[in-house]
């Protein structure tokens, strides 16, 4: 009986501390269309961000940015299962960064941030965690939370409930806060 109570408590805690899977910030399109049209790079021309989340034979999905004339600008391919994409203005300069959330083939939650400049998507930040990755882009300082294991003094893990490593956007990059 005591074992069942401990397992139930552990599962409840994991559910409580697990990152939310639905975006509370801006996401690209709805689940049906999987695309959004907006001026990402603030050049006066709108781009189309489209997600093809049908995994290929290698378990990969693709994010493609095209012009409104349907000409491909750049694309990214990820090994894993697509979770969500956020298009956010981190710097307040009207350019949007693409934040891709996915679960890789090894079961890790991944987050990658890209900027579109000169028709090229460039990675500016990435992280992954078995415990989860979450974002807080509605605050004054945009944040990324990464779940990390708690280590005990003896060198093992002290709990299945993660501690959160916090990354904060400062001017042009994410900096580890704690």
The 10s digit of each residue's pLDDT in 127-160 is 999 999 999 998 778 999 999 876 555 555 555 6
Name the CA radius of gyration of the chain, rounded: 18
Q: Is the pLDDT of residue 85 over 90?
A: yes
pLDDT, one tens digit per residue, over 87-124 is 999 988 899 999 999 999 999 999 999 999 999 999 99
Where in the chain are the domains? 2-176
CB 161 within 8 Å of CB 150: yes
Give the whole-angstrom CA distance, residue 2 versus residue 4. 6
What does the block give as tokens for 38? 């907006």
The answer for residues whose C-beta is within 8 angstroms of residue 57's C-beta and 6 or more apart is none
Q: How many C-beta neighbours within 10 Å does residue 131 have?
A: 21
Cβ contact 25:137 at 8 Å: yes
Stronger pLDDT, 18 or 56, i.e. the higher one = 56
**How crowded is residue 155: how many other Cβ atoms within 10 Å of its Cβ?**
6
Question: Which tens digit of pLDDT belongs to each residue from 10-30?
Answer: 433 433 334 433 333 344 444
φ, ψ of residue 91 in degrees (nearest 5) = -95, -10
């Amino acid at each position: 009986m005591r074992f069942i109570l401990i397992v139930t408590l552990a599962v409840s805690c994991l559910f409580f501390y697990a990152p939310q899977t639905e975006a509370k910030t801006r996401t690209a399109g709805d689940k049906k269309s999987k695309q959004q049209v907006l001026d990402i790079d603030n050049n006066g021309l709108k781009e189309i961000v489209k997600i093809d989340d049908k995994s290929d034979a290698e378990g990969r999905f693709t994010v493609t940015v095209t012009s409104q004339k349907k000409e491909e600008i750049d694309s990214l391919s990820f090994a894993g299962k697509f979770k969500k994409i956020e298009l956010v203005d981190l710097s307040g300069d009207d350019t949007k960064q693409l934040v891709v959330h996915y679960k890789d083939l090894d079961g890790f939650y991944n987050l990658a941030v890209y900027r579109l400049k000169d028709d090229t998507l460039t990675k500016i930040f990435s992280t992954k965690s078995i415990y989860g990755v979450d974002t807080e882009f509605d605050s004054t300082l945009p944040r990324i939370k990464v779940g990390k294991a708690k280590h005990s003094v003896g060198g093992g893990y002290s709990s299945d409930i993660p501690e959160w490593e916090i990354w904060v956007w400062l001017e042009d990059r994410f900096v580890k806060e704690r």
